[in-house]
C-alpha cells in the first residue's frame, strides 16, 4: 500500500505536522559558525597558550575580512563595533567579530580576564556600542576592551 499523502494541509497527522514545522524552522535558521579546530585553547610544549584558528563564518551582511592583517597585532585598535560573538565548550576559546578587522580571539591568559572581556564584548554587541581594544604584541589576542 503506498504511503498516505494528504490532500489538504489539515490532513496531516500531529506527528507529520510537528516534523514539517521543525524542518521549516531549521531551514529558516541562520547558519552556525563552524567549530574551531581542536588546537584552540591548547598549550604549546613550552606552556604558552596556542592561539587556535578563527571561526570561519562571517556575520550576516558582513564581507569576509582577514583577522591578523597589518596593524592587527599589538597595540590599540581604532574605534569599531562588534558584529558577532563566538565561543565553544572548550577552555580558553572565545572570539568576537570586529567590523573593521574580522575575528579577534580574546586572550585566555587569565580566566577572569577572558570572562570579563567576553562580557563587555557581549554588552557592546547587544547595544551596538563603540569599542576600542588592546591586543598583545606577540599573540595579537585581545587583552583589554573599552566600551562606550
pLDDT per residue over 36-49, tens digit each? 444 544 544 455 55
Percent of the chain scored above 70 by pLDDT?
Answer: 56
CATH number for the 75-147 domain, one of 2.40.160.40, 2.40.50.50, 3.30.1490.20, 1.20.120.80? 2.40.50.50
10 phi and psi angles, rounded to 5 deg: -75, -5
Whether the pLDDT of residue 58 is over 70: the answer is: no
The contacts of residue 8 (CB under 8 Å, 6+ apart) are none
Report pLDDT for 68. Answer: 40
pLDDT in tens, 83-123: 999 988 877 889 999 999 889 999 999 888 999 999 999 99
In contact, 37 and 63? CB cutoff 8 Å: no
In this prediction, residues 73-87 reach a mean pLDDT of 89
Amino acid at each position: 500500500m503506498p504511503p498516505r499523502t494528504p490532500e489538504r494541509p489539515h490532513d496531516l497527522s500531529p506527528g507529520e505536522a510537528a516534523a514539517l514545522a521543525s524542518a521549516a524552522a531549521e531551514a529558516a535558521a541562520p547558519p552556525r559558525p563552524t567549530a574551531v579546530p581542536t588546537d584552540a585553547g591548547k598549550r604549546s610544549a613550552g606552556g604558552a597558550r596556542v592561539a587556535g584558528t578563527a571561526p570561519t563564518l562571517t556575520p550576516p551582511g558582513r564581507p569576509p575580512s582577514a583577522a591578523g592583517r597589518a596593524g592587527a597585532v599589538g597595540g590599540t585598535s581604532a574605534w569599531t563595533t562588534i558584529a558577532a560573538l563566538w565561543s565553544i565548550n572548550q577552555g580558553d576559546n572565545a572570539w568576537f567579530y570586529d567590523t573593521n578587522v574580522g575575528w579577534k580571539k580574546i586572550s585566555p591568559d587569565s580566566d577572569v580576564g577572558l570572562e570579563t572581556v567576553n562580557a563587555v564584548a557581549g554588552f557592546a554587541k547587544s547595544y551596538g556600542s563603540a569599542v576600542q581594544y588592546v591586543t598583545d604584541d606577540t599573540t595579537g589576542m585581545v587583552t583589554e576592551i573599552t566600551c562606550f
